[in-house]
Amino acid sequence: MVIGIAAALALAGCSSKSTDEGSSSTSASGAGTGSAAASTNLSIQPLVQVDTEGKEVPAADTASAADPAGAGNATCAPASIAMAGALTGPDSALGINIVDGVKLALDKHNKANPNCQVTLKEFDTEGDPQKATQVIPQVVNDPSVIGLVGPAFSGETKATGGILSDAGLVAVSASATNATLTQNGWKTFFRGLANDDIQGPAVAKYLTGTAGYKKVCVIEDNTDYGTGLAKSIKDGLGSVADSACAASVKKGDKDFSATVTKVTAAKPDAVFYSGYYSEAAPLAQQLKSGGFEGVFVSADGTNDPQFVTQAGDAAKDALLSCPCGPAPDKFKSEYQALNGQEPGVYSVEGYDLTTILLKGISEGKATRADLLDYVKAYDGQGLARQYKWNEDGELTSALIWMYEVQ
C-alpha cells in the first residue's frame, strides 16, 4: 500500500523545492543528528497545491508578483522594520528561514532605492511565549520601528498580539497558523498564509481521498499550534482518525517509546504528527525502528530541512503539508546568493510580507498608523499567493501545499 501511494503521489509532483539537508544556518538540537542523518540525500519536494476539499489547484503565476525594488525612485525618511521570532533554540531554523526572506527583500529594495533606506531590527523570542512577552515590548517601545514581520509562532503571537494591537504596530506573520489568533479583536495582526482550520480539512481530505488512508493515528504536542492543528485534522478525518491510537506528547520530549508501542499495535496506514520538527524527527526515527510500516505525515512545523537532517532515512516518503508556497527558481538563486543557504519553509512568505511593508514605506507611509492602513487596504500578487485581508486579518483566499520527502 505504501509503495503504491508513494508512486501515485509522485505523479502529482510539481516544480522542485530544493531543501538540501544542510541548508539551515542553525542546526537545531535533538535526537537523530548522527551518521544516518548525515548520510541521507533526501530533500523536501512539492507535490500539489490543494483546496479545502483536498482537490488540486494550479500554482499561482508569479510573473506579476510585487518586486521590493519597485521603480527604483522611492524617497523616504530613514525607517526601520522588525522581525520577531525564534532565531535561536530547538526550532530556530523556522525563524531563520523567515528573517532571511526579509533580508532578501530589504537588500533588493535598499540597493535599488538609495534615497529610501530601510533598516531591519531582529528580535529573538526563541519561539517561547514567555520570552516573547519580554521581547515584544522592546519592539513596540522602539519608535523607529513602524512595521513588524512576526511574531513567528502561534504561542508567542497569542501571548503578545494584544501588546502589538495596543501599540498600533502592524504585525504581518509569515507562519503563525493557529486559527483562533484572528478572533481576539486585535487591530494590527495580519496572517500571511492559511490558518490551521483551512490546513486541517484540506490535508484530511487529501489523505482520505488521494492517498486513500483508512486509519490514521493523530499525535499532537502541547503547543497552541500543535493542539489547534490536531483538532482540525481530527475533525477533518472523522472516523479515519483512530482515537485508540491518538497520543499527546510534550514540547521537548525525545523518548516516544510509549507512543510507538501504541501506534505499532494499531497498525495504521499513517501517523499524523501535529508539532515541530525538533520532536518530529526523533519520533519518525523511533516509529521506524519500532516497526511502524505506514506513512509519517506532518505539517508546516515539521516541513523544514532540519527534519530531514535530524530524522535521516526515517524521513523518506514522509508527507508534509504547508500553507507556505514553494520557492520559485529565481528567488532561490537570489536567496542563496545573499544568505549562503537555500530557502526553507516560510522564506517566501517572509519575503512577500516584507515587500508589502516596503511598498507602503516607498509610497510615503512613514508612521505606524499610515503603514497599518496601507496593509489593511492592500491587494496584490506575491510570489506565494495573492495578498488581501479581511477585517479580521485573514487572507480572503488561502490554499495548502502538499510536499513529500524523496
Residues 143 and 219 in one domain: no
Residues 344 and 314 in one domain: no
Given a cut of 90, whether residue 393 has pLDDT beyond it is: yes
Q: Would 362 be classed as within a structural domain?
A: yes
Q: What is the pLDDT of residue 61?
A: 84
What percentage of the chain carries pLDDT values higher than 70?
A: 90
Question: In whole numbers, what is the pLDDT of the chain averaged over residues?
Answer: 90
Residues 232 and 216 in one domain: yes
Residue with cell 478525518: 237
Residues 182 and 235 in one domain: no
What's the domain count of the chain? Answer: 2
Q: Would 176 be classed as within a structural domain?
A: yes
Task: Write down which residue in 271, 303, 325 finishes a domain.
Answer: 325
Residues 190 and 334 in one domain: yes
Q: Would 70 be classed as within a structural domain?
A: no
Task: Write down which residue in 261, 290, 325 finishes a domain.
Answer: 325
Q: What is the pLDDT of residue 252?
A: 95
For residue 163, what is the domain's CATH number?
3.40.50.2300
Q: Would 72 be classed as within a structural domain?
A: no
Mean pLDDT, range 200-219, rounded to an integer: 97
Q: Would 67 be classed as within a structural domain?
A: no
Q: What is the pLDDT of residue 26?
A: 32
Domain that holds residue 186: 79-194+329-404
Q: How many residues does the chain have?
A: 406
Mean pLDDT, range 189-212, rounded to an integer: 96
Given a cut of 70, whether residue 14 has pLDDT beyond it is: no
**With bands split at pLDDT 50, 70 and 90, how would you rate the model's confidence at 7?**
very low
Q: Would 74 be classed as within a structural domain?
A: no
Q: What is the pLDDT of residue 15?
A: 31
**With bands split at pLDDT 50, 70 and 90, how would you rate the model's confidence at 54?**
very high
Mean pLDDT, range 361-373, rounded to an integer: 98
Is residue 191 within 8 A of residue 110, CB to CB? The reply is no
Mean pLDDT, range 356-368, rounded to an integer: 98
| pTM greater than the 0.75 cutoff | yes
Residues 207 and 309 in one domain: yes
Q: What is the pLDDT of residue 24?
A: 34
Residues 190 and 203 in one domain: no
Q: Would 148 be classed as within a structural domain?
A: yes
Mean pLDDT, range 87-103, rounded to an integer: 96
Residues 285 and 388 in one domain: no
Task: Write down which residue in 277, 306, 325 finishes a domain.
Answer: 325
**With bands split at pLDDT 50, 70 and 90, how would you rate the model's confidence at 60?**
confident
Residue 396, all three cell numbers: 480572503
Q: What is the pLDDT of residue 257?
A: 97
Residues 187 and 333 in one domain: yes
